[in-house]
Structure 1
Amino acid sequence: MKPLNQKSLERIVSQKALQIGSSFPCQICVLGFLIGVCLTSLFLAALTSLGTFELCGISYSAISQGNSPLNSSSSGFINTVSNSKFERNEVFTERWVDSKRSENGADDDRVSLLHSAWNSLLSESVDGGSAFRHGAGLDRSAVPNAPHLENCKLNEQTSERLDKRHENERLPPWTTWKGLLDTHPASMANEQIEYFRDQAISEGAYPPWITGSDEENYPVTRKVQRDIWLHQHPENCRDPDVRFLVAEWERLPGFGIGAQLVGMCGLLSIAISEKRVLVTSYYNRADHDGCKGSYRSSWSCYFFPETSQECRDHAFELLGNKEALERGVITTKDSYKSKEIWNGRAPRVWGEPWSFLQPTTEINGSLVAFHRKMDQRWWRAQAVRYLMRFQTQYTCGLMNIARNAAFGKEAAKMVLTSLGREWPKDFEKQRSDIEEFVWSNHRPWIPRPLLSMHVRMGDKACEMKVVEFEDYMHLADRIRQRFPHLTSVWLSSEMQVRGRFFMLLRSSLHSTYFY
């Protein structure tokens, strides 16, 4: 009975199992189980053979090849998850950065090449040799114009024309277009232009070394500069009524160029008041090999002479004439007391235009509304402006070198941006009439806005308490806070404090400093 009962039980269970197995939910479960087994097998096979398996953009990778399922250590293998899109972006970014680094490197090379070419041109203009051909490494025609440099030879020629009278004229051709337009053949042959130019000169033209209107300068500056030029350039230097004051520049030890200029301003005031033509002689700061020939030991090495060469020659002739000295036709610096030279009154020829000057001086945080001796301040500004009215070719060259050293590379970057990436290949400077006669007259480029600051230290400390360098830096920061767009500062000072300058400037990264 027992075997029969057992078989009956098995038959009943089998029938129940068959009924359950034939149901739809059971079939789904079995199918899911089988699919899971298959996926697990595929997953293990992929890890074993490749070590990396990617699904739907997600990457599962073994950190170390030694941590594979076949030879895993007690630490097992460690998997990290990363987005493959990120990996591709990183690769692309690295390639782009490398490309830009390569481009920047090429740009740096081109900037250095152009900057060195300009340096070679400057060396050639100073030394008069062939520095460019040997040092630049490219043809002269491939060197674009430098916006921060001036054509010193052309500038001096233009200034000479503006510092001499034309025949039967009272004044130089100050009414002409700035530059060389009046030398264009069409302008020279135009009688109508010549007529109106002469008429304007006769009515009173203003000197070209003054920029802007009277409102933009010290009171009556344009008239004063014109009158000083007329006073210093008589039409006939050998006229018996023309008298002279001949004086050399101060050269006592400890006298800087500032003291020398103050002394010469006083002498020019005396000369104008006494209706004499001032003629300067020995200038110790021009007594070096850089000042060639007759320019050596003369103010005219740096700036145009204070009077014409004819007046200078005649004055030095009279200086050796005892009778002329006795009659007062000519005087010297020794003819006047020191107080007259250093603290003398400003000429009253133009009235008292300094009486309505408004000072803008700050001392210890307070604005000074009134200065003593405003007449001296006004006159010294006028006298210095006249004495420095035109640079010589030598001074122009020195300024070119200084600008190229300070921000020549900035200028090179700017020029190369306008040229494109072809330079120096397939490039040649183009010349046209408008470039030669009009565009040739331009002021040299400098970064703007630019704060110019002279730090007076060194030898001045023997005369007075000097302002600390940190105070200058604090002032520069105050100005930048008020004018945040001002990011360039031009610093100047004596040579002996240069090291301290650079040491302190390294901590000032918010501005570009030129020295």
Structure 2
Amino acid sequence: MGSSFPCQICVVGFLCGVCLTSLFLAALTSFGTFQLGPISFSSTMLFSVTHSECDFKLKQAEQLSESNSNNEGDEDERVSLLYSAWNAELTKSKTGGGGNYLMKDGVNVPDIPNAPHLENCKAKTKLYGRLDQRTGNESFPPWTSWKGFLDTHPVASSKGTYPPWIAGSDEENYPMTRKVQRDIWIHQHPVDCRDPNVKFLVADWERLPGFGIGAQIAGMCGLLAIAISEGRVLVANYYNRADHDGCKASSRSSWSCYFFPETSQECRQRAFELMKSEEARNNGIVTIKESYTSKHIWAGPTPRKWGAPWSYLQPTTDVNGSLLVSHRKMDRRWWRAQAVRYLMRFPTEYTCNLLNEARHAAFGTIAAKMVIESLAGGWPKVIVNYCLRIIENPTQDNISSIL
């Protein structure tokens, strides 16, 4: 460097310039930052977080795997985890969310065992929809002699088949149940709802405060009996127990929120069109509940389209210790059973989800314990590849799924 002061100054200035240039270039080529809410994290920080998070998950996995392999450990913890995984799947089926919860617990979603007490509501509703409408130009639904997904077993429909919502033979049900259910469906689903010969009965469900669900159903059973006796298609209108936010869109305030509607959408539209026509009302093409007396609705005669349903049996009813072969309420009870079975023939996806939630709350822990005990290879399996992917590619979306 030499001993002169000017030379020393030049050398020091040169070295400082090199240092500053190096720092500037390093800043330009450094990792970027991600914004997570109001806080910014550098990529290096995120890598550190994800690495430690996944290390924690993998350590949990090793502990669970060791417990599984030794048939030791806390079985209650695994049962609780499986119960929570099923619960998250239920939430996901209702809202479309819940997947992150499973990943945060180290559970690989495809590896979750099937829940024996839960139904696939989307698939079931799709199947019911096919079974409740005519196919193409066919005049009859695609009912067969077996239950299942009919798309995988194409077969020519026959009018000799019976409704799929009735289980068992004639001897295992009320007299003539399968035929009656088939005939009610045909009556309520005419081929052409705009045929001038098709008449309607449009009625709201009972809504007085003193009427419970049982009374409401009994009243609608009476209205269905009147409709069949008069050759009308029953169209059920306002239903107060479906007047809430859980029933979406057109199912709001309608029986169709809980069960498949009593008639086709085409017939409903046609009936409401005729309700606006004074001529149609005056000519009796469409009637309403107020067209009939309370006695006719609640204690009217049973439709005689099917004759005397109990005639080929020898029924007995125990009344105060005496066996009665026949009494006036027998036919009414038989008809109400038929009407209720038809009105509740297929649950909607909303009802299916409600039933799944109820079954899971009642039997979920028991089912989880039975499944855990039956798995030979142990459970759960951990998403090692998922953690490795996050470590190799610490993006904002990947980080947010485990934070």
Instruction: Report the TM-score, using the length of structure 2 for normalisation.
Output: 0.73
1:141 to 110, 114, 136: 110
Which amino acid counterpart does residue 211 of structure 1 have in structure 2?
A
Q: Which residue of 2 aligns with 1:267?
A: 223
Q: Which residue of 2 aligns with 1:459?
A: none
Q: 1:399 to 1:373 in 2, by over 3 A?
A: same
**Residues in 2 aligned to 1:237 and 1:109: alpha-carbon distance in whole angstroms:** 58
Deviation at 1:287, TM superposition (A): 0.3
Q: 1:326 to 1:254 in 2, by over 3 A?
A: same
Q: Which residue of 2 aligns with 1:169?
A: 138
Whether 1:109 and 2:77 are equivalent positions in the alignment is yes
Which amino acid counterpart does residue 289 of structure 1 have in structure 2?
D
Pairing 1:71-220 to 2, within 5 Å after superposition: 106-126=74-94, 128-134=95-101, 137=105, 138-175=107-144, 177-180=146-149, 182-184=150-152, 187-188=153-154, 194=155, 197-198=156-157, 201-202=158-159, 204-220=160-176
**Residues in 1 aligned to 2:146 and 2:256: alpha-carbon distance in whole angstroms:** 26
2:309 to 321, 330, 353: 353
Work out the percentage of aligned pairs sharing the same amino acid: 63
Whether 1:230 and 2:199 are equivalent positions in the alignment is no
Pairing 1:360-371 to 2, within 5 Å after superposition: 366=321, 369=324, 371=327
Q: 1:104 to 1:210 in 2, by over 3 A?
A: farther
**Residues in 2 aligned to 1:285 and 1:279: alpha-carbon distance in whole angstroms:** 17
- Structure possessing the higher radius of gyration over alpha carbons: 1
Asked whether the equivalents of residues 123 and 132 of structure 1 are also in contact (C-alpha less than 8 Å), the reply is no
Instruction: Tell me: higher relative CO, structure 1 or 2? Use CA pairs within 8 A at least 6 residues apart.
Output: 2
Q: 1:275 to 1:424 in 2, by over 3 A?
A: same
Asked whether the equivalents of residues 102 and 109 of structure 2 are also in contact (C-alpha less than 8 Å), the reply is no
CA offsets per residue over residues 195-216 of structure 1, 9 Å max, x none? xx24xx14x2100000000000
Q: Structure 1, unaligned stretches of length 5 or more?
A: 1-98, 189-193, 428-515
Q: Structure 2, unaligned stretches of length 5 or more?
A: 1-66, 384-403
Asked whether the equivalents of residues 354 and 378 of structure 1 are also in contact (C-alpha less than 8 Å), the reply is no
Whether 1:314 and 2:283 are equivalent positions in the alignment is no
**Residues in 1 aligned to 2:296 and 2:72: alpha-carbon distance in whole angstroms:** 63
**Residues in 2 aligned to 1:368 and 1:295: alpha-carbon distance in whole angstroms:** 46
Asked whether the equivalents of residues 244 and 330 of structure 1 are also in contact (C-alpha less than 8 Å), the reply is yes
Whether 1:342 and 2:311 are equivalent positions in the alignment is no
Q: 1:374 to 1:104 in 2, by over 3 A?
A: farther
Alignment length, in residue pairs? Answer: 312
**Residues in 1 aligned to 2:377 and 2:74: alpha-carbon distance in whole angstroms:** 10
Q: Which residue of 2 aligns with 1:453?
A: none
Which amino acid counterpart does residue 160 of structure 1 have in structure 2?
G
**Residues in 2 aligned to 1:270 and 1:295: alpha-carbon distance in whole angstroms:** 25
Which amino acid counterpart does residue 158 of structure 1 have in structure 2?
L
**Residues in 2 aligned to 1:408 and 1:240: alpha-carbon distance in whole angstroms:** 53
Q: Which residue of 1 aligns with 2:363?
A: 407
Asked whether the equivalents of residues 117 and 132 of structure 1 are also in contact (C-alpha less than 8 Å), the reply is no
SS at match of 1:425: coil
Q: Which residue of 1 aligns with 2:202?
A: 246
Which amino acid counterpart does residue 156 of structure 1 have in structure 2?
T
SS at match of 1:244: strand
Deviation at 1:354, TM superposition (A): 3.3
Asked whether the equivalents of residues 121 and 131 of structure 1 are also in contact (C-alpha less than 8 Å), the reply is yes
SS at match of 1:167: coil
Q: 1:425 to 1:134 in 2, by over 3 A?
A: closer
Whether 1:386 and 2:386 are equivalent positions in the alignment is no
Structure 1 residues 263-272 or 417-426, which shifts more? 417-426
Deviation at 1:104, TM superposition (A): 7.2
Q: 1:360 to 1:409 in 2, by over 3 A?
A: farther
Q: Which residue of 1 aligns with 2:11?
A: none
